[in-house]
A = this chain, B = another copy of it.
Amino acid sequence: MPRAVRERQMLDAAVRTFGQRGYRAASMDEIAELAGVSKPLVYLYLNSKEELFSACIRREAAALVAAVREGASGASGERGASGGVGASVPAADRQLWDGLRAFFTHTAERPDGWAVLHSQARTQGEPFAAEVAAMREEIVSFVTSLIAEAARSAHGDPSLPDREVAGLAQALVGAAESLAGWANVEGTVSAKEAAATLMNFAWAGLGGLMEGRRWVPSSPL
């Protein structure tokens, strides 16, 4: 069996074990058994529990970022793969919807991978926290650019301050993280439902901002 295939089996087993039992509680014995290989082979390929965990984080983070980017670019949807200059770019709300649906579909299909990234990696100290923070940063800056783009096309000039756009992106990413965890625990909420709930929450709100409609309190702040 080629090394790449064996390594993928080990990573699959490791993601499942780390995601379900937690980083500390997971044992290399259990991972080797689930992968159907000997423990020495796991060490030979992945070196240590720490490096195995890092490899899981990197793989799951790359897969999640790729799924969201691909979803938001419309690459998996109705648009062709032309992509060059002059290719039609979907409207910002459509990109956001496609990206959200891709995010919730991915985290529902890979709940253990999501648990590794969201619950385990962030809090096992370094270098794990930094790896997952880098992935989150990448998603936040992608969302930031989507929102800034939407603001530009709505206003002609960017009348939402950069700092507010950054805050909105943080809010949206946090909302998505929270809903993904909830949907995975709840078990009866489909990816499409979760995406629709967040889209209504976010877009009617973001959409209002784009049209210059801010929330106005009935009495002074």
Interface residues of A (CB under 8 A from B): 22, 24-25, 78, 91, 93-94, 97, 119-120, 122-125, 163-164, 166-168, 170-179, 182-183, 189, 192-194, 197-209, 213-215, 217-219, 221
Chain A interface helix/strand/loop/mixed: helix
Instruction: Please pick, from B163, B174, B197, the residue contacting A175 in the complex, using a CB distance under 8 A.
Output: B174
Residues of B within 8 A of A170 (CB): 175, 178-179, 182
Establish whether residues B203 and A93, one from each chain, have CB atoms under 8 Å apart when the complex forms.
Answer: no
Least CB distance, A159 to chain B, in whole angstroms: 13
Q: Are B122 and A201 in contact (CB under 8 A)?
A: no
Q: What 17 additional pairs, Cβ within 8 angstroms, besides A167-B182, A204-B205?
A: A78-B219, A93-B215, A119-B122, A119-B123, A120-B123, A123-B123, A163-B189, A163-B193, A164-B197, A167-B189, A171-B175, A171-B178, A172-B175, A177-B178, A200-B209, A201-B202, A205-B205
**Residue from B97, B123, B164, B198 within 8 A of A217 (CB atoms):** B97
